[in-house]
């Protein structure tokens, strides 16, 4: 990572960052501050910490609103679970890396010379950028940016009761190790039409793994993939909840 040295950003650097964000700031001081870590700022008030505080709240609100609209049948507990995954530090850090925002960071020497910037710093940058964008352009443009950046994370977290997509993990492993894609088969189902349970097994080539029951075909497939990973890797990933 080529961190920006602790001096003023050039116009070219700011314009490049704005291109990544797909947003042009009216007040570029906000963007500069969002990209400035406390290790290099003159005072903590000159760093991105206050913008991180604001951005965290704005991000949570936008995600909550999106979940409320996208999953009208989901109860409060499920929406809370998905939100906790989507706005987590790990997710925000991953988004910073995906956007390449770490290339624009102003960091002190003790941080900038590390091979890998800590995830907590990367997460703070994403939240600070959200806060800066909200102050500069308002909620509408900030919502557009957040949902563009985080939309896939919402769907990924909603697919699995733990935020872990076991089917995706199994597919990645299977294609890398065997050059094949797992196949899922419904072996049994029970219960009335409005409350059915399904028994599903995963198969890679001719190898059939332990089947799993679930309250939907999607959940049963996730649990079947989990069983397969347990058998293949010899370890137990987190168990999906109902």
Say whether pLDDT at 46 is over 50: yes
- The token pair at 198 is 């399904």
Mean pLDDT estimate for the chain: 84
User: 190 or 117, which is more confident?
Assistant: 190
Q: Which residue spans of the chain are classified as CATH 1.10.1520.10?
A: 11-159
Q: How far apart are CA 222 and CA 239, in angstroms?
A: 10
Element (H, E) at 184: strand 183-190
Residues annotated as part of the active site: 56, 127
Mean of the pLDDT values across residues 38-51?
81
- Percent of the chain's residues with pLDDT above 70: 86
Architecture of the structural domain at 11-159: Orthogonal Bundle (1.10)
Q: Whose structure tokens read 């189902």?
A: 189
Mean of the pLDDT values across residues 57-82?
88
Compute the C-alpha angle 62/215/237, nearest 5°. Answer: 75
User: 23 or 120, which is more confident?
Assistant: 23
Q: Which of 93-102, 154-163, 219-228 has maximum average pLDDT?
A: 93-102
Mean of the pLDDT values across residues 141-159?
88
Q: Which residue spans of the chain are classified as CATH 3.30.160.20?
A: 166-233
CA 44 to chain centre: 28
DSSP class of residue 4 equals B
The reported pLDDT for the residue numbered 110 is 66
The reported pLDDT for the residue numbered 147 is 94
DSSP class of residue 186 equals E
Mark out the alpha helices in 22-165 (DSSP H runs): 28-34, 49-70, 76-86, 89-99, 109-112, 119-137, 139-159
Question: Which one of 1.10.8.60, 1.10.1740.10, 3.30.160.20, 3.30.1860.10 gives the CATH number of domain 166-233?
Answer: 3.30.160.20
The reported pLDDT for the residue numbered 241 is 40
CB 109 within 8 A of CB 59: no
């Amino acid at each position: 990572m080529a961190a920006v040295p602790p001096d003023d950003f050039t116009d070219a650097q700011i314009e490049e960052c704005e291109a990544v964000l797909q947003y042009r700031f009216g007040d570029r001081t906000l963007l500069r501050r969002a990209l400035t870590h406390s290790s290099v700022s003159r005072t903590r008030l000159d760093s991105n910490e206050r913008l991180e505080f604001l951005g965290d709240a704005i991000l949570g609100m936008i995600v909550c609103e999106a979940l409320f609209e996208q999953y009208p049948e989901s109860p409060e507990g499920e929406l809370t679970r998905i939100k906790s995954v989507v706005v987590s530090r790990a997710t925000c850090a991953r988004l910073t890396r995906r956007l390449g925002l770490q290339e624009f960071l102003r960091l002190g020497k003790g941080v900038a010379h590390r091979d890998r910037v800590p995830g907590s710093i990367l997460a703070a940058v994403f939240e600070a950028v959200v806060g800066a964008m909200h102050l500069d352009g308002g909620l509408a443009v900030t919502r557009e940016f957040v949902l563009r950046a985080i939309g896939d994370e919402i769907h990924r977290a909603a697919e699995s009761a733990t935020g872990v997509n076991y089917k995706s993990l199994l597919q990645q492993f299977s294609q890398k190790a065997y050059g094949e894609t797992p196949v899922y088969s419904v072996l049994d189902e029970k219960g009335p039409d409005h409350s059915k349970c399904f028994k599903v097994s995963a198969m890679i080539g001719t190898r059939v793994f332990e089947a799993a029951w679930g309250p939907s075909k999607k959940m049963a497939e996730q649990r079947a993939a989990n069983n397969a990973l347990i058998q293949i890797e010899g370890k137990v990933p987190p168990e999906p909840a109902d």
